[in-house]
Structure 1
Amino acid sequence: MSLGVADGVGGWSNMGIDPAMFSQALMFHAHRYSKGAWAGEPETDPTQDLDEPVEGWELTPQECIDLAYGGVLREKAVTCGSSTACVINLNASSGLLRAANLGDSGFSIIRSASLLHVQPPQTHYFNCPKQLSKIPDVMKWDGSIVDHPRDADVYSVNLQGGDIVIAYTDGLSDNLFPKDLLSISALVMRANSPPDELAQTLADRLVLYASQCMWDKKRPSPFELGCVASGQYWRGGKVDDVTVVVALVSEDA
C-alpha cells in the first residue's frame, strides 16, 4: 500500500500559474508508478494463498518520487510550477513503513496515544520549503529553487497494530501542534466504527480543525512561533489549503 501528499508552491499564482497543476500531476504519476510496484519485502503477495512472485517490482518511496518527477518534467500540460512531496509505503506482510519527504509536507505516526514520529520539515529558510520544480529556461534566474528527489529525507520503522499514520500538507502543520493531533485522534478512536470510517472521520476532523484555527488571530500557531523565531511578526494561524490522508494499522490473526 502506498499513500502520499503534494503541495503546489503558491508563489506561482503571482505569475498567473495554477500551483495545483504541478502537484496534481506529480501525484498522478506517483500513483501510476506505484500501482504496478510492490511496497517492499517479501517478494510474494501475503494476501494470496499461492506463494507466487509478485507481478511488478519493488519501488521505494524515494524512487517513486524520482519517477513521478520525471513524468511531470515530460508532461506537456504542465509548463512550470513547484511542489513539495511526501510518499509513504506500508508493507502488509512485514509491517515495515518506509517514507520519503521533500519539503514542508510531512507525516506523523501515533502509537498508544503518543507520538512515535513527527517528520521535520525541509526548508531553505523559514517558509521556503525544499521543492521539486519545473522552470522554463526563459524564467530561470540565480535565485530559482530546484531541488531533487535525492534530497528527500528517508525514514523507516516497523509498525504495530493500532498505529495511526497521518500524512499532511503544511496547511495542517502550520496551524496545529502535534498535541492537537493526539487529542483529536484520541477522541475519534473512541467511536465503535469500522476502521475505514474511523480513518476518514479522523482526516475530516483534522482538516476541519486546521481550517478553523487558520483564521483565529488569538490562538498561537506553529506558524506564528516560526515567525517569531525568524524575527518576523505574525499573529494566529496561516490561511492555506489543507490535505490529510490517514491510515490505521491492524494486525489480522
Structure 2
Amino acid sequence: MHLITHRHPRFCSYNLNLNSTRIPVFHQRIPPFRLQSTISHPYKFHIGASWAGKPPDRLRPKVQAPDFASTSDIAKWRAHVLSNYKNINSQHIGEDFFFVQEMRSQSGVALGVADGVGGWVDVGVDPSLFSQALMYHAHRYAKQGWAGEPEIDPTQEYEEREEIEGWEMSPRECLELAHDAVIREKAVNAGSSTACVINLNASSGHLRSANLGDSGFCIIRSSSAIYTQPPQTHFFNCPKQLTKLPSTARRYRGACVDSASQADNFETNLLHGDIVIAFTDGLSDNVFLSEMVNICSLVGRTGGPEINQVQGIADRLVHWATLCMSNRKRVSPFEKAAAREGMYFRGGKIDDVTVVVAMVQETV
C-alpha cells in the first residue's frame, strides 16, 4: 500500500527575533535568547512563520487515536509553539508542523518543516503525531549542535581556550537523529512525513539543507529566485517520506519507507537581504514561484523593520495559498504537474500549508 500525501487554512503566525519588538496582527514574539558568546557573528536571521490547517468542511473524519499525554515533553513543546499565536480561532495546524531553534552559542539558526502523510488515516493512525514528534526531536538536537565547526575564540591564547563542547550538527544528521528518536517514541505508533531542515550559520552566512519528499525551500535574491529545492517522489503525489511502521508491519509491505540518508543535501553562501522560504507542499502545489517572488517584493516595498517584513511575507504567502487552493478556475502548479503525468486535475489543491521565512542581515 503506497501512502499518498494528503495534506489549509486559517492562519496564525510564529516569530523568532533576538531583538524583540511587538508587531501588529495576530502575532506574539517569543522571548529573546540569553546565550552569551564572545565569537563574532556578523549575520543575523530575522524569522517569521505562518500556517493554516484545512478548512473544517474539508477535514477527514478525526482518527480515534491517542494524542500525546499532556504532561509529555512533546505536548508541552507543541503547546508552547501554538501558544505564541494571537489567532485563537486557528488552533488546528493540520498534519504539518515546524520548528525554529537557535543553535549552540548563537552559532546559527536551524529551522524545518514537516508534512504528515495523510494516507495513514485510512488505517486509524493520526498523521499529525509523526510530524509533530519529528519536529520536536529536530529542535531538541539542533539546540545542542553547532551550525558549523565548533567555534574557538581567536582573541584568546591557546592556553586560555576552554575545551569546546558539542559537535557540528548538519541538517541531515539532525534529520537522522530526529527520525531515530521518533522510531523510539512510544506515543507514535506509526506514521510518516516529508521533512526539510535548514541550518543558517551566523558566522559565515552559509546555508545547508537536507530535504526528503515534496516539502522544500527556495532562496530569493534581488527579486529573483536563485534556487528552488526539487521535490523527491516515488511517483506523482507520492513523496519520499520518513516512516515508522506499526508492529503489524506485514500489513504494510507496500508502504514507502525512506531514510534521511536519501535526503537531498544543498549548501550555498547567503548574502545580505536574501530571503529563504521553507514550505510544505500546501504552498508549492498552489502558489507559483513567480508569485512568491512578487509577494516578497511587494512586502519589501512597504519598508519597516526586517522582522515585520518576514512575518508579513509569511502571512501573505499562507493567505494567498488558501485563496488559490479553493479556486477551481485558476490553473495551479499541482494541475500543471498532474497534466505532465497525463492526469486531469482542476484548480487548486486543498491542503494544510506551513511557511517559515528567514531574511539575512549582515551586520558588519
Give 3-state SS (helix, strand or coil) of 2:183's partner.
helix
Structure 2, gaps ≥5 residues long: 1-108, 155-159
In structure 2, the partner of 1:30 is 138
State which of 265, 270, 282 in structure 2 corresponds to 1:154: 265
For residue 10 of structure 1, what is the aligned residue in structure 2? 118
Aligned 1:6-155 pairs, distance under 5 A: 6-41=114-149, 43-44=151-152, 55-140=165-250, 141-155=252-266
Q: TM-score, normalised by structure 1?
A: 0.95
Q: Give the deviation of 1:12 after TM superposition.
A: 1.0
**Alignment partners' CA distance in 2, 1:54 and 1:45:** 10
Shift of 1:53: 6.4
- Judging changes above 3 Å, is the alpha-carbon distance between structure 1 residues 189 and 15 closer, same or farther for their aligned structure 2 residues? same
Distance of aligned partners of 1:28 and 1:137 in 2 relative to their CA distance in 1, 3 Å threshold: same
Which amino acid in 2 is paired with 1:37? Answer: G
**How far apart are residue 51 of structure 1 and its match?**
7.5
Identity among equivalent positions (%) equals 60
Amino acid at match of 1:91: N
Which protein has greater RCO, CA pairs closer than 8 Å, 6+ apart?
Answer: 2
Q: Is the 8 A contact 1:62 1:150 kept in 2?
A: yes
1:69 aligns to what SS in structure 2?
helix
Task: Provide Cα deviations, 1:93-115, integer angstroms capped at 9, x if missing partner.
Answer: 11110000000000000011111
Whole-angstrom distance in 2 between the partners of 1:53 and 1:4: 30
Shift of residue 190, structure 1, vs aligned partner? 1.2
Is 1:189 the equivalent of 2:300?
yes
1:55-80 deviation line (CA, Å, top 9, x unaligned)? 42101000000000000000000000
Identify the range of structure 1 (60-69 vs 9-18) with the bigger mean alpha-carbon deviation: 9-18
Within the alignment, does 1:237 sit opposite 2:330 as a pair? no
Offset at residue 9 of structure 1 (A): 0.2
Q: Indicate the larger mover: 148-157 or 6-15.
A: 6-15
Which amino acid in 1 is paired with 2:140? R
2:289 to 175, 178, 190: 178
Return 5+ residue gaps in structure 1 as ranges.
Answer: none
Question: Residues of 2 paired with 1:156 and 1:196: CA distance?
Answer: 24
SS in 1 for 2:278: strand
The 2-side partners of 1:55 and 1:189 are apart by 40
SS of match in other structure, 1:249: strand
- Report if the CA contact (8 A) 1:38-1:54 is conserved: no
* C-alpha distance in structure 2 between counterparts of 1:45 and 1:7, whole Å: 39
Distance 1:225 1:45, change over 3 A: farther
Is this contact kept in 2: 1:44–1:53, CA < 8 A? no
Q: CA deviation at 1:42?
A: 5.8
Kindly tell me: are residues 94 and 14 of structure 1, through their superposed partners in 2, closer, same or farther at Cα, counting changes over 3 Å? same
Question: In the alignment, residue 126 of structure 1 is paired with which amino acid?
Answer: F
In the TM superposition, what is the alpha-carbon distance from 1:54 to its structure 2 partner?
5.2
Secondary structure of residue in 2 paired with 1:188: helix
Q: Distance in 1 between matches of 2:162 and 2:346?
A: 58
CA RMSD between the two structures? 1.6
- Counterpart residue type for residue 114 of structure 1: S
Is residue 9–residue 82 contact of structure 1 (8 Å, CA) maintained in 2? yes
Match of 1:6, SS state, is: strand
Do 1:45 and 1:54's aligned partners in 2 also have CA atoms closer than 8 Å?
A: no
Deviates more, 1:54-63 or 1:123-132: 54-63
The equivalent of 1:212 in structure 2 is: 323
